[in-house]
Amino acid sequence: MKNLTTSKFMKLAQFCLCVFFLINFNSCTEEDDITPLGSEETLNVETEALVPNSITLTSGCEYRIVPEFNNVIFPAKNYTWTAQPAELVDFTVEPLTFAVTVQTIAEGNVTLTLASDDGEVSASVQVIIDDESDGILKILAIGNSFSEDALEAYFWGLANAEGKQVVVGNMYIGGANLDTHLSSASSDSNNYSYRKIDLDGTRTVTSNFSISEAVADENWDYISFQQASYESGLFDTFINPLPSLYNIVRGHNPNPCTKYILHKTWAYAQNSTHSGFANYNNDQMTMFNGIIDAYTLAENLIPTTMVIPAATAIQNGRTSFLGDGFTRDGYHLNDLGKYTASCTWYEMLFGESVIGNSYEPDGISDYYQGLAQQAAHEAALNPNEITILVDYENPGGNGIISEPVFINFSSSDNPDGWNAYTSHLDGGGIPNILYSNGDFTGVTATTTARFRGINNTSGAGSSTTDFNMDDSVSRSNFYSHALAWGSNPPLEESVIEFTGFESNDTYEFCFFGSRNGVSDNRDTKYTVIGATEQSANLDAANNATNTVCISNVQPDANGKITLRVSAGDANTNGNQFYYINAMKIAPQ
């Protein structure tokens, strides 16, 4: 608001009052006895401005100072900010409130002075600029399993490979939405699991932690918020809790230079069975578009420095030949999905392309790393638009398996040389089976009748077989049950189809199944159907040494071989659980 003299203000007020009388009483002249609205002595004009005496900031920090003026809501006078010495800061001024946003440049002390143009009102603040110079990026996420997926598995490795030092904190409550976080923050409840990755990559988990403890634990550069996945595309669910949560967290935070960001989480796979998918008519694109719209609006609810477009990175990846092959259960990410999300965080926080990053995560081939990096990079460039990954639409393969391939039925910790079969749901699978060297076979595996679930820890802790399995492979399994199990209806068989074979060559299919810590028989039947039908049985109970094989398996006329997994006749379990942990396909 520009300066308005008292005499002009009085004439304007008298004119307005005259108009009022003309409308209501049809009379108003200069001679009428009108009581003045005020005099120069009583008019509401500020006589004092208040700012902090001093603040301490780090170099490269952005900080907003809002002056307070007595007697008025908005200042009546015009003001100018100056800095001495000027070269240590940049600043911008808001014309109505004269709030100043300071960008610190270099270490030193600066006096910022606010002065009215008439010289009658002034105030100063000492800005002490420390060069923190520890070179460590510190990020605290307030989230749930989706922040776990995005930050805990691969982000540290991506940063470390490029010589960057990071500390990662994740305040975890499973399935927590913003309302849950607000409730916990309001009472400062110690109901969080605090997961922390230190400078050396060591991950620790501390139970019974509170928001105030986590915020005070480090001098955080970034603190992120996110909505729970099932409400991530519903903007109304952000409106009340997000600003309140931000205010509480900021009130606990001793670091005035912390930047606050939002983590834009991903849409569910189209085959997801999550109950929250109904919020989007069980449609992936409806959910994705809702997420884009909701976070675009939500970033204006708090002072948001950036939005991490993990949703867009995953959706970009889905334009490749992998399709929905980024989740392990239709909504949580598998290893490749986690790596893709971490690449997105890396590019956004460090402001540099992740393409070509030298980190080599176990179990993710170079080709898949490149795909994930490209998906993340395009998301950083176009955070609200899907980019088709044209270079990854068809990876190749001739449809003839010329050397053994190995499949690991697990949602995580896939070792090098193995194909990760990460989703147990209908439509899950492996879009193009890999050889151990990372080349593609051109053969696809797809689940056409689901398994009940995945158990990553119930199999043999170690094994001695001709598969030469890593312990992570023997421990994990897909399982189902031929009889009802609690409220779960029976699954008499679970089915995988292998398609894309381009010759009449014959193959050997071998299987390993294991369930530790049981005393009954868990006989599992593996039936392979191609040009002919053959079966083999294996008792999975406490198995660490045995595999079974079916030889002379030939594709049918359509290039397809079907695997049916079911309970065997010798199975004595009350629910007739059956298992598959690993398999091998080898040419004969």
**Residue 567, domain member (yes or no):** yes
- Does 327 lie in the same domain as 441? no
3-state secondary structure of 205: strand
178 and 105 in one domain?
no
Average pLDDT over residues 558-565: 98
289: left (phi over 0), alpha (psi -120 to 50) or beta: alpha
CB 129 within 8 A of CB 110: yes
In a domain? residue 398 = no
CA separation for the pair 585, 402 (Å, rounded): 10
Cα(311)–Cα(409) distance, integer angstroms: 26
399 in any annotated domain: no
At 40 the pLDDT is 42
How much is the pLDDT for 258?
95
Is pLDDT above 80 for 54? yes
| pLDDT score of 38 | 42
Q: Where are the alpha helices (DSSP H) in 410-567?
A: 471-475
pLDDT at 19 over 50: no
User: What's the pLDDT tens digit per position in 495-505?
Assistant: 999 999 999 99
What is the domain range of residue 66?
A: 49-130
What mean pLDDT, rounded, does the chain reach? 92
Residues 285, 345 within the same domain: yes
> Do residues 109 and 301 lie in contact, with contact meaning Cβ atoms separated by under 8 Å?
no
| Least trusted range by pLDDT, from 104-118, 129-143, 321-335, 391-405 | 129-143
Separation CA 535–CA 43 (nearest Å):
96
Q: Report yes or no on 199 lying in a domain.
A: yes
Q: Please say whether the beta carbons of 240 and 287 come within 8 A.
A: no
Whether residues 148 and 200 fall in one domain: yes
Say if CB 307 and CB 261 are below 8 A apart.
Answer: yes
Residue 221 in tokens: 């550069």
Q: Which residue has the tokens 């092959």?
A: 325
User: Is pLDDT at 12 greater than 60 in this prediction?
Assistant: no
Q: What is the pLDDT of residue 227?
A: 98
Q: Give all strands (DSSP E) within 371-476, no chain letters.
A: 405-409, 419-421, 429-430, 444-449, 453-455
Do 290 and 312 belong together in one domain? yes
| Residue 84 belongs to a domain | yes
Where residue 59 sits, what CATH number does that domain have?
A: 2.60.40.1080
Coil/strand/helix, residue 407: strand
Of 96, 130, 164, the position where a domain reaches its end is 130
Is 35's pLDDT higher than 80? Answer: no
pLDDT level of residue 230 (50, 70, 90 thresholds): very high
Report the interhelical angle of 310-317 vs 284-298 (nearest 10°).
Answer: 150
Tally of domains in the chain: 4
CB 411 within 8 A of CB 333: no
d(CA 384, CA 293): 9
pLDDT of 1 above 90 = no
Closest-CA residue to 514 (of 550, 558, 465, 450): 465
Tell me which H or E stretch contains 172. Answer: strand 165-172
Dist. CA 494–CA 578, nearest whole Å: 10
Q: Does 223 map to a domain? A: yes
Per DSSP, helices labelled H in 89-162 are: 145-151, 155-161
Specify the CATH number for the domain of residue 237.
3.40.50.1110
Q: Is residue 400 part of a domain?
A: no
Same domain, 300 and 412: no
At 149-194, the pLDDT tens digits run 999 999 999 999 999 999 999 999 999 999 999 999 999 999 999 9
Q: What pLDDT is attached to residue 17?
A: 40
Which of these three, 108, 130, 152, is where a domain ends?
130
pLDDT-derived band at 420, boundaries 50, 70, 90: very high
- pLDDT bin (cut points 50, 70, 90) of residue 43 is low
Are 354 and 385 contained in the same domain?
Answer: yes
Rounded to whole angstroms, the Cα distance separating 188 from 182 reads 9
Residues 486 and 577 placed together within one structural domain of the fold? yes
Closest Cα to residue 461, out of 516, 419, 414, 413?
A: 516
Give whole-number Cα distances, 43 to 7, 75, 498, in Å.
11, 13, 85
pTM (2 decimals)? 0.83
Lowest-confidence pick of 6-10, 402-406, 544-548: 6-10
185, 159 contact by CB (below 8 A): no
Same domain, 332 and 198: yes
Q: Give the C-alpha distances (Å, rounded to integers) separating 192 from 93, 153, 219, 329.
A: 40, 19, 19, 24
How would residue 218 be classed by pLDDT, with cut points 50, 70 and 90? very high
CATH number of the structural domain spanning residue 529: 2.60.120
Q: Which long-range contacts (CB under 8 A, 24 or more apart) does 112-115 make?
A: 112/51, 112/65, 112/81, 112/82, 112/83, 113/81, 113/82, 113/83, 113/84, 114/49, 114/51, 114/67, 114/79, 114/80, 114/81, 115/79, 115/80, 115/82
d(CA 75, CA 121): 11
Neighbour count for residue 351 (Cβ, 10 Å): 9
The sign of the torsion formed by the CA atoms of 450, 456, 459, 462 equals positive
Domain boundary among 110, 130, 150: 130
In contact, 192 and 147? CB cutoff 8 Å: no
Overall average pLDDT of the 233-250 stretch: 98
- Residue 191: what pLDDT? 97
d(CA 376, CA 365): 17
Query: Residues near 84 by Cβ (< 8 Å), separated by ≥ 6?
Result: 110, 111, 113
CB 579 within 8 A of CB 515: yes
Measure the CA–CA gap between 363 and 369, rounded to whole angstroms: 10
Burial of 4-25, coded b for 16+ CB within 10 Å and e otherwise, reads eeeeebbeeebeebbeeeeeee
What tens digit of pLDDT does each residue of 305-320 get? 999 999 999 999 999 9
Lowest mean pLDDT among 21-25, 233-237, 240-244, 571-575: 21-25
Residue 509 near residue 563 (C-beta atoms within 8 A): yes
Q: Residue 6: pLDDT band by 50, 70, 90 thresholds?
A: very low
Q: Do 141 and 124 have their domain in common?
A: no
Q: What's the confidence (pLDDT) of residue 131?
A: 75
Please report whether residue 397 resides in a domain.
no
218/255 same-domain check: yes
Strand partners, 585: 405, 509
pLDDT score at 59: 84
**104 shares a domain with 32:** no
**CA torsion sign, 558 to 559 to 564 to 570?**
positive
List strand residue ranges (DSSP E) for 370-517, in order.
405-409, 419-421, 429-430, 444-449, 453-455, 477-481, 493-499, 507-512
